[in-house]
Structures are given as structure tokens and as C-alpha cells.
């Protein structure tokens, strides 16, 4: 789908958190100029969220996707009639909220697979809620990999013009060294290169962060840089990729945000996310690569502590929508 203003399916995520509120704020403020929006979920929940914020609900609501196709409205609702109104403002994980979030995500992804929409943006979620509602799965990535038959699908983060990928994501820190291998590092470099090309970077420049302090000090404070990371970098260079490293983790993002690199390969979760969230907490977008459809999401969770207070910032969701629309325009 390459139309100038693609239709992007957006879900509310976990409705007991801030997802409905930030979506209402994006819609009320006017959707991004580069797309139209189709909210996929429970219209009752969305309407209640408009009321809670004192906003007027005047969106066309449809029960069938074929009806949506006949509308040129900038924002529409595909009502799944899930009956979740009583869950609003619970501000804690709930099995029914997990089930609803998973159902909306699956429906939105199916629409993208059928080319009824140009891409999918799913609202903030946490693994606990999803697992309570859909015990077969641990997180949204597992759901999408199975649904889309995309076992190699992986997430990449974007803040400003810098992208990052992480080798050891949600694992205990003590397991990280075992996961840093020449194969895992090379795979991450290749995947980040793909993501940068997908986003329009013509000659991606990639930095690889070290695992140990001061990049191991020549083996004095760890040998992973010598035995695991450097061989992967050399192989990537042999394949024609522009790769630098291993670079000490305390300086790699300083150089990236100065424009020296387009993307960074990190060894573990906090090594990447502390730097990115300091640089632009409300601007981080997660996008999925090696996926047959465009998928993005905000980087934050449902923020139960802010639910129902009307103070949640919608800018991260807006950024995720803008990135999804931009990617959809290129397909």
C-alpha cells in the first residue's frame, strides 16, 4: 500500500492503563498529516475515554471492514464490541484487558495482511497482562510471530535519527555473556542494517557497543570483545557493511547522537535503553523488522499510575503512528 495517506490501524493496548487516553488525545489533536487512522477495538471504551477527557466523540463507527473502505473520514472506528467499559481506570493488570488487547492486535494485523490497512500501531502493553489474557503467549512478539508466520521478526528502537537493536533483551543480567556470540552479534548487525535500509538510509553506518568496561581493555576486564564481538564485526565488514566497534558503551551514543552513526548494536537491555530514554524518553518508537507488514508501537508501557488522571503524554504514540505511516508509504 503506497497511497499518500495510508490507513493505519491503531489499538488501545491495555485499556486499564493510559492507552485509551493517549489515543483520544492524538485523535482530538488531529491525526498526523501523513495518514488516516482506524481505531480497532471496543467503541464503548473509546467513547468513555472521550467523555472522561471532556472531548466530543464524533467518529464514524463501523462493525465491518468493508464499510470502512467506503469512508474517507480521517479517523474511524472498527468496533470489536468487546464489552470492556467496566474495566476502565482499574489501573492494574486484568485478564480480560489482556484478552481484549490481544484480540485487537490480532484483528489489526489480519487487516494489514489482507491489505485493508497500510500498517499497525499497537498501544502500550505489558507482558503480565497479555499472559493473563492469552496464557499461550508470553508477549505480543510471540503472538505476531505466529500469526504472521515470521519467526525471525525482531524489534528495533528509533529515537530521532538513531536506531538501536539489542542482543539480550528481557533476560537476567547474568545470562547476557552467554548470549553474546559471533553468530548473535553478526545477526544483530545484519538485521539493524536491514531496518536502516527499510527506513530509507542509503548507506547505513552501524556502531557495535562493547560488553565490558572500556571495551575490555585488551582482555584485562573481559575477553568477549576479542573472542565474540570483533569476529562478528570483521565478518560484517567482509559482507560490505559499514560497521565500527566494539566501542565502549559509555560513549557510543554520544557519537551516534552527534551524527557519526545511524544505528547501534547493544549487548543488553539497559545498556541501550538508559541512553535512549535520557536522549528522548517521549520520542522512542519500536518498529518490527523481518515482518510482512508494518508494525510499530510506543516504547512505554501502560503506566497504571497515571491511568484515569488525564495527564498522560500522547507524543510517543503520535510518533509511532508517524513512523508507521512513513514506512507504509514506502511499501
Given a cut of 50, whether residue 140 has pLDDT beyond it is: yes
Tell me what the mean pLDDT of segment 47-53 comes to.
93
Alpha-carbon distance 51 to 164, whole Å? Answer: 38
Number of domains in the chain: 2
Longest dimension (CA), the chain: 66
Tell me what the mean pLDDT of segment 49-59 comes to.
93
Mean pLDDT of the chain: 93
Give me the percent of the chain exceeding a pLDDT of 90. Answer: 79
Instruction: Check whether residue 231 and residue 303 sit in a common domain.
Output: no
Tell me what the mean pLDDT of segment 161-172 comes to.
93
Give per-residue pLDDT as tens, 6-24.
Answer: 999 999 999 999 999 999 9
306 domain residue, yes or no: yes
Instruction: Check whether residue 129 and residue 159 sit in a common domain.
Output: no
1 domain residue, yes or no: no
What is the domain-level CATH number for residue 48?
3.40.718.10
Give the pLDDT score at 86.
75
- H/E segment holding residue 192: helix 182-198
Give the pLDDT score at 106.
96
Alpha-carbon distance 110 to 131, whole Å? Answer: 21
Q: Domain residues for 236? A: 155-278
93 domain residue, yes or no: yes
Any idea what DSSP says for residue 226? I
Reported as a pLDDT band with limits 50, 70 and 90, residue 133 is: confident
Give per-residue pLDDT as tens, 224-271.
Answer: 999 999 999 999 999 999 999 999 999 999 999 999 999 999 999 999
Give the pLDDT score at 3.
66
Kindly report the pTM of this predicted structure: 0.89
Given a cut of 60, whether residue 169 has pLDDT beyond it is: yes
2 domain residue, yes or no: no
Given a cut of 70, whether residue 1 has pLDDT beyond it is: no
Instruction: Check whether residue 185 and residue 149 sit in a common domain.
Output: no
Instruction: Check whether residue 266 and residue 320 sit in a common domain.
Output: no
CB of 156 within 8 A of CB of 285? no
Instruction: Check whether residue 144 and residue 195 sit in a common domain.
Output: no
Instruction: Check whether residue 59 and residue 141 sit in a common domain.
Output: yes
Instruction: Check whether residue 134 and residue 230 sit in a common domain.
Output: no
Give per-residue pLDDT as tens, 172-200.
Answer: 999 999 999 999 999 999 999 999 998 88
Instruction: Check whether residue 257 and residue 304 sit in a common domain.
Output: no
280's grid cell = 528522548
CB of 84 within 8 A of CB of 15? yes
Give the pLDDT score at 2.
44
Instruction: Check whether residue 202 and residue 236 sit in a common domain.
Output: yes
Give the pLDDT score at 93.
86
124 domain residue, yes or no: yes
Report whether the peptide linkage leading into residue 246 is cis, meaning its omega lies within 30 degrees of zero.
Answer: yes
Instruction: Check whether residue 144 and residue 172 sit in a common domain.
Output: no
284 domain residue, yes or no: no
Alpha-carbon distance 79 to 82, whole Å? Answer: 8
286 domain residue, yes or no: no
317 domain residue, yes or no: yes
Instruction: Check whether residue 89 and residue 224 sit in a common domain.
Output: no
Instruction: Check whether residue 237 and residue 161 sit in a common domain.
Output: yes
Strand ranges across the sheet with 36-41: 61-62, 75-79, 36-41, 7-10, 119-121, 295-298, 285-289, 154-159, 162-168, 263-268, 205-209, 242-247
Give per-residue pLDDT as tens, 73-96.
Answer: 999 999 998 777 777 767 888 889
Tell me what the mean pLDDT of segment 202-206 comes to.
96
Tell me what the mean pLDDT of segment 144-160 comes to.
93
Amino acid at each position: 500500500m503506497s497511497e499518500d495517506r495510508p490507513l493505519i490501524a491503531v489499538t488501545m493496548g491495555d485499556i486499564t492503563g493510559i492507552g485509551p487516553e493517549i489515543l483520544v488525545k492524538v485523535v482530538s489533536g488531529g491525526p498526523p498529516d501523513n495518514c488516516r487512522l482506524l481505531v480497532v477495538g471496543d467503541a464503548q471504551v473509546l467513547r468513555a475515554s472521550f467523555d472522561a477527557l471532556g472531548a466530543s466523540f464524533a467518529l464514524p463507527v463501523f462493525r465491518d471492514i468493508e464499510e470502512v473502505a467506503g469512508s474517507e473520514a480521517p479517523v474511524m472506528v472498527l468496533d470489536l464490541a468487546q464489552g470492556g467499559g467496566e474495566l476502565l481506570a482499574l489501573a492494574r493488570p486484568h485478564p480480560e484487558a489482556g484478552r481484549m488487547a490481544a484480540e485487537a492486535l490480532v484483528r489489526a494485523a489480519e487487516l494489514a495482511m489482507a491489505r485493508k490497512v497500510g500498517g499497525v500501531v499497537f498501544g502500550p502493553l505489558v507482558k503480565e497482562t497479555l499472559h493473563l489474557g492469552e496464557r499461550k503467549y508470553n508477549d505480543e512478539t510471540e503472538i505476531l510471530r505466529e500469526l504472521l508466520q515470521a519467526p525471525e521478526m525482531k524489534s528495533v528502537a528509533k529515537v530521532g535519527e538513531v536506531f538501536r537493536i539489542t542482543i539480550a533483551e528481557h533476560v537476567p543480567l547474568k545470562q547476557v555473556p552467554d548470549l553474546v556470540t559471533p553468530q548473535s552479534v553478526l545477526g544483530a548487525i545484519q538485521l539493524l542494517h536491514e531496518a536502516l535500509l527499510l527506513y530509507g538510509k542509503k548507506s547505513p553506518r552501524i556502531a557495535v557497543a562493547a560488553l565490558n568496561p572500556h571495551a575490555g581493555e585488551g582482555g584485562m576486564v573481559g575477553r568477549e570483545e576479542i573472542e565474540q564481538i570483533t569476529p562478528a564485526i570483521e565478518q560484517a565488514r567482509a559482507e560490505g557493511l559499514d560497521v565500527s566497534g566494539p566501542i565502549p558503551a559509555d560513549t557510543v551514543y554520544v557519537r551516534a547522537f552527534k551524527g557519526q552513526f545511524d544505528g547501534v548494536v547493544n549487548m543488553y537491555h539497559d545498556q541501550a535503553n538508559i541512553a535512549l530514554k535520557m536522549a528522548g524518553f517521549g520520542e522512542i518508537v519500536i518498529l518490527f523488522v523481518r515482518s510482512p507488514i508494518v508494525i510499530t508501537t510506543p516504547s512505554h508501557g501502560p503506566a497504571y499510575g497515571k491511568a484515569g488522571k488525564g495527564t498522560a503524554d500522547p507524543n510517543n504514540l503520535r510518533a509511532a503512528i508517524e513512523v508507521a505511516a512513513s514506512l507504509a508509504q514506502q511499501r
